[in-house]
Structure 1
């Protein structure tokens, strides 16, 4: 009897009491307050218990193992790590930790240098090493229970797990408060506070893509199609060049209550607001998640219809083409270009942009004359010339250019401005004075870039439309109550033009922006475009029909396009103009590679081997030594990588992690000045 009582006590300690403690700790980290965690437990006991049950279910797996205590500890450590990671992430961005972040590890590593010092990185590795060693020691020291392998023990373990799983299903089906997460996660930060970290995180694992509408069928899609008046591909009288600029973490800082400045930090932006069409723009994210706003703006689709915290760039668009402003404009002869002064592989844009129909993508690896801000991000002044380059590349063709800035990206704390004429900030929140001063002076420089771009576009004879908008608010611990106008999920947009488009101010959602811009120009190509332009956005069916269209195009049978996939991935050219290698010659004892569009990210290969080289300018690279020719002969039956062809030079562009982005043409040794001697 005493032994049975002991086993019952052990069971309740390990599988009931421990999950409760774990959830309290995790919620304390999620809310940055132990008191708030206990308040949550008292105010929302049903939701708290639902989170505890999920932890119980995961811990109960330990009952199947001989080393029950070790597995139990391991699972507990995993949950605690998730809580700590969430706590750390919330200090750098507003959105909490979710399963999709595992798909962003490579992107997170690439920007970690902007947030972490060498000491921080060293301490992280030290902590990981201590944790691993501790788990190894625990594994060796924990007892191995043979009784856990008996048939009776397995049956009991299975019964416990099935009971917990059934309890979770019953609570989910019977509770409106639990079910509410499925529809009410527009503000993901509030969702984690309302429904608990464990439930939201678990939901983010299984909730991906767009759920199939209950009435989805060829007939239902035909009804939506019939409601859209087909305007064909009639071209407008004027086909202007269209430039859209997504401004990183940009919003009107003057909307923050109580804060004032020594001078207007956004004089150009404020002037354009007074003179041209503008309004508030509702975006799907705050503090981070740039590409989800980008996704909505480029596709006209709502990110809210996807899974909790999902990044379509990292899921469906990695392998699926989609309707987009690029593909719609291509129907009337436009070419499309992307310009971003950050690495091409961030969020996988070098792959996704092909599926969205861009013709070229100029990332920071294809730019010269880059200057860095104090936080290590490329300054946005380089964007002006790069954008103009895309517009002037083919003056006889209408161009669409999508620019993505990066200068005003976080972090904001512990960084001092390098502005020569800094804007002084008064009455910033206590403890945030330095962050506000740094951020304000960064967007002041972004505003100067806007002024230069508008001036340059204004001098062009060709009709041009420029759309400016912020992707999300910065991570400055803002709340709705801190803002004079709007909410945390609202930035501002402006539609500038140089040929007399009628001014029209209205508030829009990010996925409504490009159809609205094209409508004012007189362009009505594409199903998504026409749907937004013709729909009654206040109607009950607007959102449901949009979701049905999104599902049909990305996951369904393409009924809206008569069962065919109308879009193909573009042959995305990296850089506005391709790399070219023209000659390799010797001058004053030095070996020089001559060509076009070289940048500091260029690498020279000969005969399959990288040569040590130095960037001089956009037309010249210097080699340390002359390469030696090999006896290798090119096998015409063999397929070579561009940088492996025998006795040939090639220049390639790599990002900072060594990812190969593009190659120049190959130049045989015999066709160089060296080979002709």
Structure 2
């Protein structure tokens, strides 16, 4: 018996040693793929011995799981396929954006399907699908054919536990010695410094905000002490407030050595000179729109969340959160979001209810959309949408607007007859210059949209304040050295107001650089508004030494703790979020000449007829009429209309109409 146990232990030890060596080789391959360079990958492995030992231990711990099942060779193969698949995915992803692959990206898969056609050609998508199917079919075949091995459950469990404990111990040692990063404020830099295996694994388990060491009821009370003494201001006149989050938009004058055939963004440049504003520190570069959005709306920083985490896809799926929308609703504002892209992206159609918005108008509820050469909706459609809402409401409005036109992937082929020509790039950077030329021309059109919007708002009788800011710099491989001012994590913001606002309020012309999570509190302070705990906190304490550590305590308490700030119970309930400012509805249904006609209001090309629960091939005739050809109704059928995304996700629907009733 003892001899058999010794043999089993020897077999497992040999298995683990072999896997450790294989893991070291895998890490070299992974880093070469991640860095798109053989020499850079080898240099990273050579310069970071502890990280390589730790990363190999992590992979070996995963391989230890294969010993828990009889067909360990098959499970080993599956684990290897997953590891290599993640490495290849990360390598491909870094061709399109700056941010590496993190575990939270898996939660965004449904959103990826909606925009895949912009980044890949039809043939590339077909080949990708075929490759995935071949891999799955191959694994199924091997899973059937591969034989079982001798199975030692107790020894396998002990080995797995020891492997995991070894990883935990190494992380503890690395953290104590300063060899590892445990907080990833800058995800691309963290992956570059710590390697893909460690960072991605950390993103698997590192979610939410860790409990601060000093968190307790007394600490929270001490933070709130001065804020509780400050009453919420009474606000007599309430301006309409419009935030516009400009996709990948930047002041193009910041690019050193790049020249343009004419001023690409004359409206924005004029605003930068004449209006209050400054640099805005955002949480990401080249991607991560929803995280900038989260910081602006909530006043919370992403610094304390998990590596690469999107709160929209984690905590805000189920939790409400104090936000600018909730705070302004207390003052009688109607709160809504406009976005000329699909409504289900980043689960916005679900999350905005937990952020206090009354309505959400996505592209599925907009008419007269036009598209740029790579398929993103142009921003000019938003002027009419904003104007319609301002005219339709009697109460003051908060309209949070998210543009999309300037989004990548930026084509590397030269545009045919571009309106604005770009020069200044080295001859070997021709493809990058072409991509930048495309981007500049899209920014030029977005700038024209801003000019049109400002002209519209200038003629509006009610006071309006307009806050413009970029969500992140574009994914164009811009380096710090190429920027004349600011850094890669800084966009800009500008605050403009119409004539009546200038008469009623004194807007400071002093420029002030801010973090994204400070912007909403900063704007509200200009008009004497201080609703909300985090609004008061930012307005009162942003210059204090313990500002950020106290902010972490408040964020933890609000989202994950005991909600001491609210005396144990959050006052925020999810809103009944209405999709579309003017909801779709049916007024009548007729069956004539072998076709069904559905009459109603506010239909768009994303409106589809359902009869007895089945989706019908629907022809959009106009905003009041939809047609279903080759269909007749006999009476009693249940008819409704639903707004669907490009992947047929339902955003909203009308009430059921009973034909012939």
User: TM-score when scaled to structure 1?
Assistant: 0.90
Choose the corresponding residue for 1:604, options 606, 609, 615. 609
CA-CA distance at 1:665 after TM superposition: 4.2
Where does residue 636 of structure 1 map in the other structure? none
Matched residues in 2 for 1:30 and 1:421: separation? 34
Choose the corresponding residue for 1:52, options 20, 39, 56. 56
1:438-487 Cα deviation digits (max 9, x unpaired): 11111111111111111111111111000001111111112212211111
Where does residue 519 of structure 1 map in the other structure? 525
Matched residues in 2 for 1:607 and 1:76: separation? 47
Matched residues in 2 for 1:406 and 1:11: separation? 51
Where does residue 117 of structure 1 map in the other structure? 121
CA-CA distance at 1:224 after TM superposition: 1.1
Aligned partners of 1:246 and 1:403 also within 8 Å:
yes
Where does residue 645 of structure 2 map in the other structure? 655
CA-CA distance at 1:570 after TM superposition: 0.7
Structure 1 residue 557 and structure 2 residue 568: aligned? Answer: no
Q: Secondary structure at the match of 1:594?
A: strand
Where does residue 569 of structure 1 map in the other structure? 574
CA-CA distance at 1:135 after TM superposition: 3.0
Matched residues in 2 for 1:97 and 1:530: separation? 36
Aligned partners of 2:58 and 2:167 also within 8 Å:
yes
Cα pair distance change 1:4/1:562, threshold 3 Å: closer
Q: Secondary structure at the match of 1:469?
A: strand
Choose the corresponding residue for 1:25, options 24, 29, 32. 29
Matched residues in 1 for 2:20 and 2:216: separation? 46
CA-CA distance at 1:625 after TM superposition: 5.3
Matched residues in 2 for 1:89 and 1:179: separation? 30
Aligned partners of 1:599 and 1:615 also within 8 Å:
yes
1:261-300 → structure 2 map (5 Å cutoff): 261-300=260-299
Structure 1 residue 427 and structure 2 residue 432: aligned? Answer: no
Matched residues in 2 for 1:595 and 1:12: separation? 67
Matched residues in 2 for 1:106 and 1:332: separation? 36
Aligned partners of 1:54 and 1:168 also within 8 Å:
yes
Matched residues in 1 for 2:204 and 2:178: separation? 16
Where does residue 619 of structure 2 map in the other structure? 614
Q: Secondary structure at the match of 1:92?
A: coil
1:385-414 Cα deviation digits (max 9, x unpaired): 1112222221x3110000001111110034
Where does residue 402 of structure 2 map in the other structure? 404
Where does residue 18 of structure 2 map in the other structure? 14
1:451-466 → structure 2 map (5 Å cutoff): 451-466=451-466
CA-CA distance at 1:140 after TM superposition: 5.2
Cα pair distance change 1:426/1:64, threshold 3 Å: same
Aligned residues: 647
1:330-349 → structure 2 map (5 Å cutoff): 330-349=329-348
Structure 1 residue 188 and structure 2 residue 187: aligned? Answer: yes
1:519-558 Cα deviation digits (max 9, x unpaired): 01111111011110111x2433111111111111111222
Matched residues in 2 for 1:109 and 1:669: separation? 36
Where does residue 391 of structure 1 map in the other structure? 390
Cα pair distance change 1:599/1:131, threshold 3 Å: same
Aligned partners of 2:276 and 2:510 also within 8 Å:
yes
1:434-583 → structure 2 map (5 Å cutoff): 434-498=434-498, 499-500=501-502, 501-535=507-541, 537-583=542-588
Matched residues in 1 for 2:29 and 2:23: separation? 10
Q: Which runs of 5+ in 1 are unaligned?
A: 631-645, 672-677
CA-CA distance at 1:214 after TM superposition: 1.8
Q: Secondary structure at the match of 1:566?
A: coil
User: TM-score when scaled to structure 2?
Assistant: 0.92
Instruction: Compare 598-607 and 219-228 and name the one that shifted more.
Output: 598-607
Matched residues in 1 for 2:323 and 2:28: separation? 45
Structure 1 residue 90 and structure 2 residue 94: aligned? Answer: yes
Q: Secondary structure at the match of 2:95?
A: helix
Matched residues in 1 for 2:236 and 2:466: separation? 18
CA-CA distance at 1:614 after TM superposition: 1.9
CA-CA distance at 1:578 after TM superposition: 1.6
Cα pair distance change 1:21/1:572, threshold 3 Å: same
Matched residues in 1 for 2:10 and 2:223: separation? 65
Matched residues in 2 for 1:618 and 1:4: separation? 73
Where does residue 163 of structure 2 map in the other structure? 164
1:623-654 Cα deviation digits (max 9, x unpaired): 43564234xxxxxxxxxxxxxxx445433222
Matched residues in 2 for 1:181 and 1:309: separation? 17
Aligned partners of 2:594 and 2:630 also within 8 Å:
no
Instruction: Compare 249-258 and 295-304 and name the one that shifted more.
Output: 249-258
Instruction: Compare 311-320 and 600-609 and name the one that shifted more.
Output: 600-609
Where does residue 350 of structure 1 map in the other structure? 349
Where does residue 637 of structure 1 map in the other structure? none
Cα pair distance change 1:599/1:540, threshold 3 Å: same
CA-CA distance at 1:415 after TM superposition: 5.8
Matched residues in 1 for 2:178 and 2:451: separation? 48
The alignment yields a C-alpha RMSD, in angstroms, of: 2.5
Q: Secondary structure at the match of 1:236?
A: coil
1:240-259 → structure 2 map (5 Å cutoff): 240-259=239-258
1:161-187 Cα deviation digits (max 9, x unpaired): 444333322222222477665554111
Aligned partners of 1:22 and 1:76 also within 8 Å:
no
Cα pair distance change 1:66/1:534, threshold 3 Å: same
Q: Secondary structure at the match of 1:339?
A: strand
Instruction: Compare 104-113 and 184-193 and name the one that shifted more.
Output: 184-193
Cα pair distance change 1:663/1:128, threshold 3 Å: closer
CA-CA distance at 1:421 after TM superposition: 5.7
CA-CA distance at 1:342 after TM superposition: 0.6
1:201-220 → structure 2 map (5 Å cutoff): 201-220=200-219
CA-CA distance at 1:561 after TM superposition: 1.3
